[in-house]
Structure 1
């Protein structure tokens, strides 16, 4: 992903909550778990892990929805679009739903997770697939490979 498209703005479906990213993702992912399927009303959820300092809500007040657990899922209070997630204990990034951004095609998934729960017909272009989540020791290599991808 090229720096020349940043910052990039985005919004929920109704436009009442607006966001901006000003940093390249650390990594992009698709999650096929049944929880993400239900929360996204789709075959999988998409994430772009944006460094925290490169993310901001520029308008509106998102609310926490989903399971209200260790991962705080933020939604527009009006249209209920799932916009981003802040996982507890991982304050260095925000998982932004790329479909909220002005040019979501710039954020294809590099890794896909929970292949053990994926719908048989669902497919992505991800370079790596895992039955659950990648082992923590894989993340430095995955992030390094993702960062080295051509823009």
Structure 2
């Protein structure tokens, strides 16, 4: 249902030196409540929009790897240190953008929330799919298909 999306979108870090562009419809919106995401965001959870890697590009600035420097590469602005996106290792060809760094993030509602066992008790979201840990990876194609039909859209 790519016709449902008004693209492209732009976004960037807090200082504006690192900018990106999205030219493909998102696969999924998610909130992760794990302690690592809480620590990296300084908030109750990490809110992200997964987009196909082929539909994502950095248009200005040079991202640097931050976070734990592990298999899941977390990219930050070198100047303001904003966590901008993640390229998860071994989970497919997508990029997880920090949703609130889109120029217009008002439409983003998590479709899936994970790691609720670590959630702050007051911080659960209206996501229709909620898991104490990570759902099995084989379930994600069904979530992506359902999000294409039912997920929130920009107004």
- Normalising by the smaller structure, the TM-score range is over 0.9
Q: Say if 2:19 is the partner of 1:3.
A: no
Q: Say if 2:96 is the partner of 1:95.
A: yes
Question: In the alignment, what sits opposite 1:37?
Answer: 38
Q: Distance in 1 between matches of 2:145 and 2:8?
A: 22
For the aligned residue pairs, the C-alpha RMSD in angstroms reads 1.3
1:1-150 map, 5 Å: 2-4=4-6, 6-149=7-150
Residues 76-104 of structure 1, C-alpha deviations (whole Å, 9 max, x = no match)? 01110000000112351000111110111
* 3-state DSSP of counterpart to 1:37: helix
- Offset at residue 24 of structure 1 (A): 1.2
Residues 106-126 of structure 1, C-alpha deviations (whole Å, 9 max, x = no match)? 221100000000001102121
* 3-state DSSP of counterpart to 2:36: helix
Does the 8 Å contact 1:52/1:91 carry over to 2?
A: no
TM normalised by structure 2 equals 0.92
TM normalised by structure 1 equals 0.95
Q: Give structure 2 stretches of 5+ with no counterpart.
A: none
Q: Distance in 2 between matches of 1:102 and 1:67?
A: 27
Q: Distance in 1 between matches of 2:8 and 2:36?
A: 30
Q: Distance in 1 between matches of 2:15 and 2:5?
A: 28
Q: Give structure 1 stretches of 5+ with no counterpart.
A: none
Q: Distance in 1 between matches of 2:43 and 2:75?
A: 17
**4+ runs deviating over 6 angstroms:** none
Q: Number of paired residues?
A: 150
- Offset at residue 140 of structure 1 (A): 1.5
